[in-house]
Structure 1
């Protein structure tokens, strides 16, 4: 995870309710975390939320695909990735 002074980070200005602020600070304090850990917590929470929303969208898009067809698609993709990895490994070993 990037530090606050890292050139790969962006500073946000975020407003939350007093209740949310107090709840988060208490939560972090109970776990021995410090004020600076708020940024780490928020970044992790945002990543999880984006992941959850993306997953929900994908599930909605594939909801009409029968399970057998979905499994065939997954199997085909898995086989292709494994083959690519074997070829990559063989090139590195040569």
Structure 2
């Protein structure tokens, strides 16, 4: 986790709670593992949503044009 921590209050289905706590307990759950699991899940979900939005935005782009855009972005990143 980062330097600052924010406390969340969330509601989940009781079956989801039991399944997750069982999963973590079977793997030697330690204090804080539930929070870390949730934080990791949120980060992965945000990443997935962002990737899908990018894919949708470029869905109609000509492959050659897309390759040129990627090459341009890579060159710009390497020059910094």
Structure 1 consecutive aligned stretches of length 4 or more whose deviation exceeds 2 Å:
none
Unpaired segments of 5 or more residues in structure 2? none
Unpaired segments of 5 or more residues in structure 1? 85-94
1:14 aligns with 2:10: yes
1:29 aligns with 2:25: yes
Residue matched to 1:88? none
Give CA deviations for 1:26-79 in whole Å, capped at 9, x if unaligned.
Answer: 110111122521000000000100110111111111101111111111111111
> What root-mean-square deviation, in Å, do the aligned CA atoms of Structure 1 and Structure 2 show?
1.2
Q: How many residues end up aligned between the 2 structures?
A: 80
- State the structure with more CA Rg: 1
- Corresponding residue to 2:48 among 43, 48, 52: 52
- Corresponding residue to 1:71 among 64, 67, 76: 67
Q: Which has the higher contact order (CA 8 A, sep 6+)?
A: 2
Residue matched to 1:81? 77
